[in-house]
Every structure is written in C-alpha cells, then in structure tokens.
Amino acid sequence: MAKDKLGFIGLGIMGKPMTKNLLDAGYSVIVWNRSQPGIDECKSYGATVAKSAKEVAEKSDVVITMVTASADVEQVVLGKDGVIEGIRAGMAVVDMTTQSPKMAKKISASLKEKGVGMLDAPVSGGDTGAIAGTLSIMVGGPKEVLDRCMPIFNVLGKNITHIGEEPGSGQVTKLCNQIGCALNLLAVCEELTLAAKSGINLKQMLSAISAGAAGSWQLSNLGPKILNRDFEPGFMVKTIQKDLRLVMEAAGDGEATLPGVSLAHQLFHSVEADGLHEKGTQALVTAIEKLASTKIEG
C-alpha cells in the first residue's frame, strides 16, 4: 500500500529531527515553518518546501503540526493561509504540540466539519527522543484515524498510547507528564543541594540513588548536566513554563489543587528573571542555589 504524503509544520528543536526520520523511512514530506533556518535544514534532508500552511495541506494526505503553543496551533491550522484552507475530506491532521486541551477540542470540531479527522498527539522524550525516534506519544482522537497514522507514529516513537476518543485527552495526559517532569526535576535540584551543603561526593550520590527507588529520567539525564554546569537546552525553561501555565489552567477548569506545580512554576519564574528563559530546564537549580547560598558543581 502506498504511503500517505505527509506535511510537517513546525521545524524547531523537535520538528527537524522528526521530519528527517520520516524522510529516512521513505515518506514524501512537504514542510513549512514560520522562520527560515528550519526550512533550510529540512530541505537539505530531502523535504519539499511549501509557501504556506495552506499549501502544505493541499499537497498532503496527513498534516503534522509541531509548533510552540496553543495560539500557534490555532494560527497555522485555522488562521489565514492555514491548514483548514487547503484541506479536503478524508485527510487527517495530527497536532503533536503540547497545547491547551480546550484548543485541541476547538480545532478538532472545526476540522470535523470539513470531513477531516484530527488527533492530538503530544510527545515526551525531548530532542534526544526526537532524534532517535523513541518518543512517547500520547494520542487522543478517533481510533480509525490513529490506525491510519500508526505507521507514521512507529517511525517517530516507541511507546504509542491511545488515551481515548475524546479530543484533548492526549493533551491532558501530556500535562500530567509535565507535572511529573517539573516535580522530579525540583527533587533532583534539592537532592544535589543537600549533598553539596553536606560536602559529600555528588557524582557518587547520583550513582547511588539513581539505581534505587528515587531513580528517574530527570535524575539520570539532567543530574549529570547540572554537575557539569551544562544548561544548554534539550527542553527550554520558557517552554516548560508555557506547559505549567496550561497545567494550572486545566487544574482550574477541573477544580484540582496542585500545590507542587504552583511552587515549581514560581521557582522557574526566578530562573526567567535571571535571563535564563532559553536555557534547559535543568537551570532550575540556579533558583535553589540562590535560596541555599551555594553552587553545585561536580
């Protein structure tokens, strides 16, 4: 069976390697981005370049969006020269952005009126997972659309979970994931702070607790970066802050009390105030260092 022609919109840290993996898997991919560097890189991989999101839709069977935030998804899908102006019945749209569940529902309803199925399919795994094709993908939307898109997801990820048919359910799951990421990272920062203030060997401490019940992805991957004072992003402070704002919004809608998220959100504000908004989330340690009057180095 012939492969669907794919469109990919959003060629940033995640979108570029995801596009490359799809091209390497033999898919025809037409791309568009709101800035030029991502376009140039994906063109070098073999992608075709469109002049607008509308043109991407006109020349694709399945359109994937991977942009920054809810307003960006709304713009590229429902806005002027957006995807919705180029779609036709029988297509599918897959939004892999982390965005508002309410916006996912709104976009899904608009596309359904045009005979187009939509999946909200945010991912976890960062740029390393995007490069390796090992992302965890959380999918909300119709099962028949998921079945059609499963070969595409199998190129991009290794753990694809259908959360439910309800639009936005993938997004809610991703927000739960972000709670875990933020609070686990806060725990890593506090663990390192106590160890540093106590004068013990930080590398040995990390090795010891990583193998036990306190072990986590954040500890194993970001702990060593903190020790090396490596704050370059796989996932930026400003992006986790966007996600935590979405968490707080969803919490308000569902009358959920999330005190840990509120604390992490405020501590990340301190990191942003120091001009580190485009650094990796591990820069959270700088806020804890201030409070403890210490500096953590391996």
Q: CATH no. for residue 195?
A: 1.10.1040.10
CATH of the domain at 85: 3.40.50.720
Average pLDDT of 2-12? 95
140 and 211 co-located in one domain: no
34 and 100 co-located in one domain: yes
215 and 242 co-located in one domain: yes
Catalytic residue IDs = 174
Question: Of the residues 166, 201, 236, which one is the last residue of a structural domain?
Answer: 166
144 and 246 co-located in one domain: no
Mean pLDDT score across all residues of the chain: 96
Q: What is the pLDDT of residue 169?
A: 97
Residue 255 has pLDDT above 90, yes or no: no
Question: Of the residues 144, 166, 188, which one is the last residue of a structural domain?
Answer: 166
125 and 250 co-located in one domain: no
134 and 107 co-located in one domain: yes
86 and 105 co-located in one domain: yes
Average pLDDT of 112-139? 96
149 and 22 co-located in one domain: yes
What pTM does this model have? 0.91
Q: What is the pLDDT of residues 154-204, one digit of tens each?
A: 999 999 999 999 999 999 999 999 999 999 999 999 999 999 999 999 999
- Please state the three-class secondary structure of the chain as a single string: CCCCCEEEECCCCCHHHHHHHHHHCCCCEEEECCCHHHHHHHHHHCCEECCCHHHHHHCCCEEEECCCCHHHHHHHHHCCCCHHHCCCCCCEEEECCCCCHHHHHHHHHHHHCCCCEEEECCEECHHHHHHHCCEEEEEECCHHHHHHHHHHHHHHEEEEEEEECCCCHHHHHHHHHHHHHHHHHHHHHHHHHHHHHHCCCHHHHHHHHHCCCCCCHHHHHHHHHHHCCCCCCCCEHHHHHHHHHHHHHHHHHCCCCCHHHHHHHHHHHHHHHCCCCCCEHHHHHHHHHHHHCCCCCC
153 and 83 co-located in one domain: yes
23 and 153 co-located in one domain: yes
Q: What is the pLDDT of residue 274?
A: 97
23 and 156 co-located in one domain: yes
Average pLDDT of 253-271? 95
The answer to whether residue 297 sits within a structural domain is: no
Per-residue pLDDT band for 54 (boundaries 50, 70, 90) equals very high
Residue 1 has pLDDT above 70, yes or no: no
Indicate the number of domains in the chain.
2
Q: What is the pLDDT of residue 234?
A: 83
pLDDT above 90 covers a percentage of the chain that reads 95
Per-residue pLDDT band for 253 (boundaries 50, 70, 90) equals confident
Q: What is the pLDDT of residue 261?
A: 97
Domain of residue 15 covers: 6-166
